Structure 1
Amino acid sequence: MNKILSQDEIEAQGGNLIDEIIRMSDFSFERLPMLDVIGERLADSISVSLPDLTGVICEASLSQLDYVPMAQATDALPSPAMLAVCSSPSLDGEILLAMDATLLLTAMELMLGGAPRDEAPRQPERFTAIERGFGRRLATLIMTELQNDFGLVGDIELELERVETDPDSAAVTQPANLCVRLHFAVGLAGRTGALEVILPYDALEPVRGKLGKIHFGTPSDDGSPWREQLCGQIERATVELEAVLAGVQLSIQDIMKWKTGDVVNLWVEEDHDATVVCADTPMFRAAIGKRNNGNTAIRITEELEPEEEANHGRNDH
């Protein structure tokens, strides 16, 4: 339902908008479109790497990217927040990673083997030494993924300098200096936490030229930068295998004559190898046997190429 604003409220909102336009006009800067690309890639990277640490599916997304003064970014930080300050010899300053209590405590419970309930975790006034230790571990993982994603514009090595809980102690630039703020929503075990990456505009000076234009880098010696992530996803996938003992061709007329107790001759010996099939593609030959517990099992004896199996089938006929 739309709310009807009074004249005073309309004038107040208009005044705030004008003040914001005037304030931003004091900054001389150009937008850096490659940060949008890096932000999206970081969300994808977190979604892939965080499950290795927590053991559950993670869904991360870049929900906001804006250019704000450091003071405004600091005032908007969640309270309490785990603040990780990172540095790089390739940058002209430090960058800040901020995690709210929901993200940190949920990840910590999962890393300890717990199963968080749907309700929100407690909101402590400050973090314990143990929680700070887990926060450093989580920040290190996120920092590593950010370093890899920055590879689109250059070789930037990040190092975790310190972990803070006081925003004033974690300030990475002067309050009036412009920063790029990336806000991520991170879903874990039914909870959604917040992650913010704050990049001082001046710190990006060495790579600002590359960040100012859209490009996706050049192919590296090891191939596509997505190869490792794709391989990781493939390794987590599951497939269905079938062990086929034999295949016979029968007419529908013969099949319709079958009755209970009829015997179908497969024309194979007892030691005949089975063919292991995945998605209608022959993969292996395998010997059939029994384990000590009486269960039937197969032992891979030969790896098949699709062409080899097709030729073998034609030779049989």
Structure 2
Amino acid sequence: MKTSKSREALEQLRKIDWDSKRIQTDSDFADIKHFDLTNPDYKILDMQPTLEVLYRRFAQQLRFSLYNLFRHKAEVTFGSVVSMKFGTYSLDTKEAASLHAFKVTTLKFNGFVKIDRSMITALIDLFFGGSGDTLTSEEEREMSPTEKRMLHRFLDASLENLQEVWETIIPFKIRELDTSSTPVSHFFYNDSELIIISRFTVKIADIEGQMEVVLPYRAMEPIREKIHSYNNTSQDPKWKNTLQENIMLAPVDMSATLCQVPLSLKEVLDLQAGDVIKADIPRQVTVRIAGVPCLKASVCTIDSNMALKIMQRIRQKEKSE
């Protein structure tokens, strides 16, 4: 029996057309997702949520800094965080843009800020009382010392805000560098080095321009774990203080029951105008805030007005009891 069964199995295998079984159509691979490990974007995917939180906060703080500097309502919108090779990014800087380098002394790496030159011209015009709609000439001109000082004030405010948001995670001290003596390209090893670009849109007095903060990816590697463990609510004391201050301004209702008189339904129906209901006012009552018992108070009178004198707080254990 075993021999006959094995022969039948071999015979069935021999009859199979294996060439036809190897042919597969494109529909067989429809559910397969392609993942390119050579794509640099995958390296920041795990850090991207935290970076977005940081740079959204940076956009909010920069908005207030611009208002204090130019006395005009400003809108700073965070765009995206992307990664690419430095050589690819260098090809994109041919348009009219200004690059300003900085050094993070605590982590020992360099980055730079890229600002549209038309935006710089408009901000300078606003600072000196203009409308900001000055047209930029096609030929780049040398800025005057006064204009350079104003530009440095804007850069100082931007870098200070950048330092503040990063210091919620790690020590992050920034110092502006002189790009006239050291070009930005000298801060990177080669064109294949990976960089992280954070893009923002700045709009002030109907003038809109682009701003980018560029950091080398190698600077993120040593602090990757801290970026992963970053918690927006527990590690940002300013956010917690602001939230607490706003909560303290919320209005609440305070109430206290001074007396309770048990009456039957018949007694209530028999009440007439002018009847007097006798009630004993207790010496101490419970004060409820938003319906929650929080305080003990004694009943007293001040200037012929009934009042409550706070005696003590009610602890959580007393509430549960």
TM-score (norm 2): 0.57
Q: Which 4+ stretches in 1 moved above 3 angstroms?
A: 20-23, 119-124, 129-133, 217-220, 225-231, 311-316
Q: How does 1:217-232 map to 2 (within 5 A)?
A: 218=234, 223-225=237-239
Structure 2 runs not aligned, ≥5 long: 1-34, 246-300, 307-321
Identity %: 17
Structure 1 residue 120, shift from structure 2 partner = 5.1
Q: How many residues align?
A: 212
Give, in angstroms, the shift of residue 227 of structure 1.
5.4
Q: Which AA in structure 2 matches 1:183?
A: R
Superimposed CA distance per residue, residues 121-165 of structure 1 (whole angstroms, 9 cap, x where no aligned partner): 44542442444433222111100000001022112111111245x
Output one character per residue of 1:267-305: Cα deviation in whole Å (capped at 9) or x when no partner: xxxxxxxxxxxxxxxxxxxxxxxxxxxxxxxxxxxxxxx
Structure 1 alignment gaps of length 5 or more:
1-19, 232-310
Q: 1:125 aligns with which of 121, 130, 140?
A: 140
**TM-superposed deviation, 1:90:** 2.0
Higher relative contact order (CA 8 A, sep 6+): 1
Q: State the 1:110 CA deviation.
A: 1.3
User: In structure 2, what residue type is equivalent to 1:62?
Assistant: F
CA deviation after TM superposition for structure 1 residue 230, in Å: 11
Q: Contact (CA 8 Å) 2:52, 2:80: kept in 1 or not? A: no
Greater mean deviation of Cα atoms: 208-217 or 139-148: 208-217
Map of 1:302 onto structure 2 = none
Question: 1:29 deviation in Å?
Answer: 2.9
CA change 1:151–1:125 in 2 (3 A) is same
Deviation string 1:250-270 (CA, Å, 9 cap, x unpaired) is xxxxxxxxxxxxxxxxxxxxx
Which residue of structure 2 lines up, in the alignment, with residue 116 of structure 1? 132
What SS class does the counterpart of residue 72 from structure 2 fall into? coil
User: What is the match of residue 308 of structure 1?
Assistant: none
How do 1:211-222 and structure 2 match up within 5 A?
A: 211-216=227-232, 218=234
Deviations 1:204-237 (A, max 9, x none): 33322222345226457xx524758999xxxxxx
Match of 1:139 in 2: 155
**Which residue pairs with 1:91 in the alignment?**
107
Q: Which structure has the larger Rg?
A: 2
Which of 226, 231, 252 is equivalent to 1:210?
226
Q: 1:205 is paired with a residue of what secondary structure?
A: coil
How far does residue 95 in structure 1 lie from its aligned partner after superposition? 0.9
Residues 1-317 of structure 1 correspond to what in structure 2 (within 5 A)?
Answer: 21=36, 23-24=38-39, 29-31=43-45, 32-33=47-48, 34-77=50-93, 79-117=95-133, 121-130=136-145, 131-164=147-180, 169-171=183-185, 172-174=187-189, 175-216=191-232, 218=234, 223-225=237-239, 315=305
Q: Secondary structure at the match of 2:160?
A: helix
Judging changes above 3 Å, is the alpha-carbon distance between structure 1 residues 208 and 126 closer, same or farther for their aligned structure 2 residues?
A: farther
What SS does the corresponding residue of 1:83 show, helix, strand or coil?
Answer: strand
TM value normalised by structure 1: 0.58
Corresponding residue number in structure 2 for 1:11: none
Q: 1:111 to 1:163 in 2, by over 3 A?
A: farther
**Separation in structure 1 between the aligned mates of residue 304 and residue 197 of structure 2, nearest angstrom:** 64
CA separation of 1:91 and 1:214: change in aligned 2, threshold 3 A = same
* d(CA) in 1 for partners of 2:204, 2:130: 13
Tell me, in whole angstroms, the C-alpha distance in 2 between the residues paired with 1:149 and 1:314: 56
